[in-house]
Chains A and B, each alone.
Chain A
Amino acid sequence: MDVLAGLMHGFALALQPANLLWCFVGCALGTIVGIMPGLGPPATIAMLLPLTFLMNPASAMIMLAGIYYGAKYGGSTTSILLNVPGESASIVTCLDGYQMAKKGRAGAALGIAAIASFVAGTVGVLGLMFIAPPLARFALAFSSPEYFALMSLGLAMVVLLAGHSIVKALLAMLVGLWISSIGTDLFSSTSRFTFGRMELLSGIDFVVVAIGVFALGEVLGNLEAIEKSQLLPVPKGLRNLLPTVQDLKDSRFAFANGSIVGFLVGVLPGGGSTIASFISYGIEKAVSKRPEQFGHGVVEGVAAPEGANNSETGGALVPLLTLGIPGSGTTAILLAALVLWGFKPGPLFISENPSLFWSLVASMYIGNLMLLVLNLPLVPLFAQVLRTPAYVLYPVIFGVSMVGVYSVSGSVFDIGLLAGFGLLGYGMRKLDFPSAPLILGLVLGGALERALRQSLMMSEGSLSILVARPISAVMLSLAVLVLLMPVFSRINAWRQKLLS
């Protein structure tokens, strides 16, 4: 079935009232789930699976997919307003989004997040539609050496997140690497850094660390002074309630950047929206004319990662639908759902089930549009949240953090860990250690180590495998370049001083 015919057919199905309703339900549910820190699409989809048996598979798929990308839209809300990442992918949004909120531009931040998500989400669907099969083959060429190079590139971004002390940023990253090692080593089944505690055997979930360090650290910092009875300035006037034309112009490149990076990283089995958003943020900062403002509230610092984590959904569906290989936690559940409904996802899936595939694709366009329409008007509403007096809001943040963490693992031990990381986050603020590198190290550390060990096993101990293969060689060189960037800029500044 050629693409245009398929798409027409898909729209015909997706625009049926019942499917429109399910799409809406999925998107709405996804947005709510995304706002809640901790609760994520995988758990929600799993809980709804029994319900889906009563529906026809196409409608069910449309709804579940709606939850998947809807959650990405919702995740930015708490990141921007409260510095609480609602989704792992929204952590990077906290960096500039929350700063924008502090400056009274919460509305603009929320708006640009929604718009970027829409643009990137649509690009993601376009990608899924047109280049899925060849891209899937490309994805198969990616293996451990390439992943190692990709993770190295991601970690090299630390340099761009560093602020003024690279030493402290690197140290924070190393601590993140250490935390990522806590648990059972996959290759040898040795327990590392578990202090004899069974709860640490599978490591520390990064949601616990992220919420503790970011959100609780921030709250504790704010609790120092009693005067602030209102948390953040409420955006006044349309200029701050919605993104301005200038904002949109500033974000032009970010839209493209986020869409492409997110989609490509999503296609890789094992590449996730978190790393996609970090890389996209890093690239944005690297090409920006005002890099020193990143981390202090620049609009493209929100647009890039938000776009990336949305187009990643389109990307992650590529290996799922073209090869039957799940690329992320959520796609793994979607795979299970397809199997439960009696389908056999694999290389022949699309050609044998064109209606399902095309109605899904069409519904994703519709869903993205729905979410944009849903989210934009809600922006002023969300911004009003900031009116809540601090003495109500802070306990709520504490409570939501606890519930969110508990919803991930069902363990009170993790809530205790949350308290510990909250203290760490506060300490880091006081001692001027940047927290983003810590999270980056935590998220990438495990994958980096695995990729390195897998690569060395593949090459029988020879490091040359990392540079012998073209893709990994290119990415590693990029990583080295990124690492050397501060050196270049110092040299540049020094040269300027000499010439003046």
Chain B
Amino acid sequence: MRVKSPDFWSGLALAALGGYIVYTARGWEYLGQDGPGPGFFPLWYGIVMLVLSAILVLTGKSEASWKGAGRAFAAWAAFAVSVALIKLLGFLIAFAALTFFIVTVMYRRPPVTAALVAAGVAAGFYVVFPLALGVALP
């Protein structure tokens, strides 16, 4: 069976989004007393989205190389986790943890280097932002 191109899947996803938009937009007023209502615009761009994504599904053919995607996802997951940790541990610690992760796992530097970098960068942020510029850290 021929492997479906990535465009096929992105087209489908966008078609799903388009469908969702059209469906929700139907629940709002299309044409109000004085002018178009909140449903007007979303309905139209939802429909165009459906049409275009259908075209994409049918004619798309680009290739995608997924090599290395695992690393990128891991990095992203680490970022997401550190964001979630901000409320628990505070920005500086969560950020230092993220830095540590990136240096050790992503770049395979020794843990000591990682720890130094993490501490240094976090300290740097503390100095630059709240102290020097008066910008609040999350």
* Direct interface between A and B, CB < 8 A: yes
A residues with CB within 8 A of B: 32, 36, 39, 47, 165, 167-168, 170-171, 174-175, 177-178, 181, 185, 187-188, 190, 192-193, 216, 219-221, 223-226, 229, 390-392, 394-396, 398-399, 402-403, 406-407, 410, 412, 415-416, 418-419, 422-423, 426, 430-433, 449, 452-454, 456-457, 461
Chain B residues lying within 8 Å of A188, measured Cβ to Cβ, are 29, 32, 37-38
Chain B residues lying within 8 Å of A225, measured Cβ to Cβ, are 68, 71
B residues with CB within 8 A of A: 6-7, 10, 14, 17-18, 21, 24, 28-29, 32, 34-38, 40-42, 45-46, 48-49, 52-53, 55-56, 59-60, 62, 64-69, 71-72, 75-76, 79-80, 83-84, 86-87, 91, 95, 98-99, 102-103, 106-109, 117-118, 121, 125, 129, 133-138
Query: What's the least CB distance linking A487 to chain B, in Å?
Result: 16
Query: What's the least CB distance linking A232 to chain B, in Å?
Result: 16
- In contact, A452 and B49 (Cβ under 8 angstroms): no
Of the candidates B52, B53, B67, B137, the one having the most CB atoms from chain A within 10 angstroms of its own CB is B52
- In contact, A406 and B87 (Cβ under 8 angstroms): no
Expressed in whole angstroms, the Cα–Cα distance for A417 and B46 within the complex equals 22
Chain B residues lying within 8 Å of A224, measured Cβ to Cβ, are 67-69, 71-72
Expressed in whole angstroms, the Cα–Cα distance for A188 and B31 within the complex equals 11
- In contact, B83 and A220 (Cβ under 8 angstroms): no
Chain A residues lying within 8 Å of B48, measured Cβ to Cβ, are 170, 174
- In contact, B6 and A431 (Cβ under 8 angstroms): yes
Known: A178-B42, A224-B69. A32 touches B53 (CB 8 A): no
Expressed in whole angstroms, the Cα–Cα distance for A410 and B45 within the complex equals 32
Expressed in whole angstroms, the Cα–Cα distance for A185 and B36 within the complex equals 12
Chain A residues lying within 8 Å of B95, measured Cβ to Cβ, are 395, 398-399, 402
Expressed in whole angstroms, the Cα–Cα distance for A12 and B84 within the complex equals 56
Chain B residues lying within 8 Å of A226, measured Cβ to Cβ, are 71, 106-108
- In contact, A174 and B103 (Cβ under 8 angstroms): no
Which B residue's beta carbon lies closest to that of A172? B14
- In contact, B10 and A419 (Cβ under 8 angstroms): no
Chain A residues lying within 8 Å of B56, measured Cβ to Cβ, are 167-168, 171
- In contact, B36 and A406 (Cβ under 8 angstroms): no
Chain B residues lying within 8 Å of A461, measured Cβ to Cβ, are 35
22 A–B contacts, CB within 8 A, in A order: A39-B133, A165-B62, A167-B60, A171-B56, A181-B42, A224-B67, A224-B69, A224-B72, A225-B71, A392-B103, A395-B98, A395-B103, A403-B129, A412-B83, A412-B86, A412-B138, A415-B83, A416-B83, A422-B79, A431-B64, A433-B10, A453-B35
Query: What's the least CB distance linking B36 to chain A, in Å?
Result: 5
- In contact, A412 and B87 (Cβ under 8 angstroms): yes
Query: What's the least CB distance linking A244 to chain B, in Å?
Result: 34
Expressed in whole angstroms, the Cα–Cα distance for A487 and B66 within the complex equals 34
Within 8 Å by CB of B107, from A167, A168, A390, lies A390
- What are the 5 tightest A-B residue pairs by CB atom distance, in nearest-first order? A224-B68, A395-B99, A457-B35, A391-B107, A185-B38
- In contact, A220 and B108 (Cβ under 8 angstroms): no
Chain B residues lying within 8 Å of A32, measured Cβ to Cβ, are 133
Query: What's the least CB distance linking B135 to chain A, in Å?
Result: 5
Expressed in whole angstroms, the Cα–Cα distance for A175 and B131 within the complex equals 39
Within 8 Å by CB of A187, from B38, B55, B72, lies B38
Query: What's the least CB distance linking B13 to chain A, in Å?
Result: 9
Expressed in whole angstroms, the Cα–Cα distance for A170 and B49 within the complex equals 8
- In contact, B40 and A453 (Cβ under 8 angstroms): yes
Query: What's the least CB distance linking A180 to chain B, in Å?
Result: 10
- In contact, B68 and A192 (Cβ under 8 angstroms): no
- In contact, B138 and A403 (Cβ under 8 angstroms): yes
Within 8 Å by CB of B72, from A174, A392, A419, A426, lies A426
Known: A226-B107, A395-B103, A431-B6. A419 touches B136 (CB 8 A): no
Within 8 Å by CB of A192, from B42, B53, B125, B129, lies B42
Which B residue's beta carbon lies closest to that of A449? B41
- In contact, B138 and A456 (Cβ under 8 angstroms): no
- In contact, B14 and A175 (Cβ under 8 angstroms): yes
- In contact, B80 and A398 (Cβ under 8 angstroms): no
Expressed in whole angstroms, the Cα–Cα distance for A395 and B100 within the complex equals 9
Chain B residues lying within 8 Å of A403, measured Cβ to Cβ, are 91, 125, 129, 135, 137-138
Query: What's the least CB distance linking B47 to chain A, in Å?
Result: 10
Contacts A39-B135, A452-B36, A457-B34 known; list 8 others, CB within 8 Å.
A167-B59, A175-B17, A177-B41, A224-B72, A395-B95, A403-B135, A419-B76, A419-B80
